[in-house]
Amino acid sequence: MTHGVLTVCVALATVALSAAAGNALVLLAGYLTRRQAWSALGARTTASLLVQARLAPLTLTLVAVPLVQAAFWTFEPAHKVETTGAPLQLLAAAGAWVLVVMAHRAGASVYATWQVARVWRQAGLPADVPGWPGRAWIVASRFPVVAVVGVGRGELYVSADVVRACSAAEIAAIAAHERAHVTGRDNLTRILFALAPAVTRAAARLERAWAATAEEIADLHARAAGDGVTLAQALTKVARLALGTTAPPPLAISAFVGGDDLEGRVRRLLEPAQHPGRSLRGMPCAAVVPAAIAAAVWCLPQIYEAAEFVVKLGR
């Protein structure tokens, strides 16, 4: 096997091993979520930890592949022709499969979201929504759509039934809720969830827990910008309109009403004001980047030896 082909196989094997290690972390986090280990933390802290845990396969892959490649290119003789064992070939095949699944899941999520938004936009009318600074559309839909599509500023889509049922103050409260999703880049998080390889039920559990926590954060931000009672009334009205209708499939969209805990959200909005807590969004960079640099400086020989062990395994 030539140096170039061997390098590709090692990279793909690294993807497979990183995804496996990340899924082990997902399993552990899913167990902690099932045991409600996050319940004592603030909403923003909980959301940050859930995102970091769910994205562990992707994060480990993005860190490990460049390190292994740097070690391999540094210490492996360029003109060396080497035979490999079956384990490396199987790992490389698994890594290629992981990449295909990642691309397919992310592409399908983005494409389905674009298709739904296109249908809404074609059947909708541009509108000025109180409290919403960007583009907004009033759409005809049996389901009471209130959703933001897009990662940057985002576009707001509101069902005509919701506009008729809610007062101007309630619409403004809904817009404040959706602005919080845009500020938190929640749609980008959903796309990254689709991109991160996961093969366990624990991943879905983490995503549901994060979605519920993201709704709590958006509710708290919207209440801070206005009146919790008004937002609770809007939430109740939209949920009532949703009875007997079919919700759109899970997409990379921030939606006002979904499969979350309606009673819990209303009760929380009517309770005394709470602070969503401190975000730990910056923690991955603060922890991973220095660790990666230290590994690159001090551990490249050891990383190469580990790669060579996998190459020679079963030979």
Residue 179 sits at the vertex; the CA angle it makes with 178 and 181, to the nearest 5 degrees, is: 65
- Sequence-distant (6+) residues with CB within 8 A of 188 are 151
At 291 the pLDDT is: 66
Question: CA 90 to CA 93: how far, in whole Å?
Answer: 5
Question: CA 47 to CA 43: how far, in whole Å?
Answer: 6
Asked if residues 78 and 310 have their Cβ atoms less than 8 Å apart, the reply is no
Residue 305 has which token pair? 């030896």
- Sequence-distant (6+) residues with CB within 8 A of 124 are 137, 138, 139, 140, 157
Identify the three-state secondary structure at position 233.
helix
At 36 the pLDDT is: 75
Low-confidence ranges of the chain (pLDDT < 70): 1, 37-40, 81, 249-252, 258-260, 272-297
Phi-psi region for residue 11, left (φ > 0), alpha (ψ -120 to 50) or beta? alpha
Question: CA 83 to CA 81: how far, in whole Å?
Answer: 7
At 302 the pLDDT is: 86
Question: CA 4 to CA 11: how far, in whole Å?
Answer: 11
Provide the whole-model pTM: 0.84
Residues facing residue 259 across a β-bridge: none
Residue 157 sits at the vertex; the CA angle it makes with 111 and 226, to the nearest 5 degrees, is: 130
At 74 the pLDDT is: 84
Identify the three-state secondary structure at position 32.
helix
Phi-psi region for residue 62, left (φ > 0), alpha (ψ -120 to 50) or beta? alpha
The residue written with tokens 């992707």 in the block is 58
Burial class from Cβ neighbours inside 10 Å (0-12, 13-18, 19+) for residue 256 reads buried
Distances (CA, A) of 61 to 12, 94, 188: 10, 13, 19
Asked if residues 44 and 277 have their Cβ atoms less than 8 Å apart, the reply is yes
CA atoms within 13 A on the CB side of 226: 26
At 226 the pLDDT is: 73
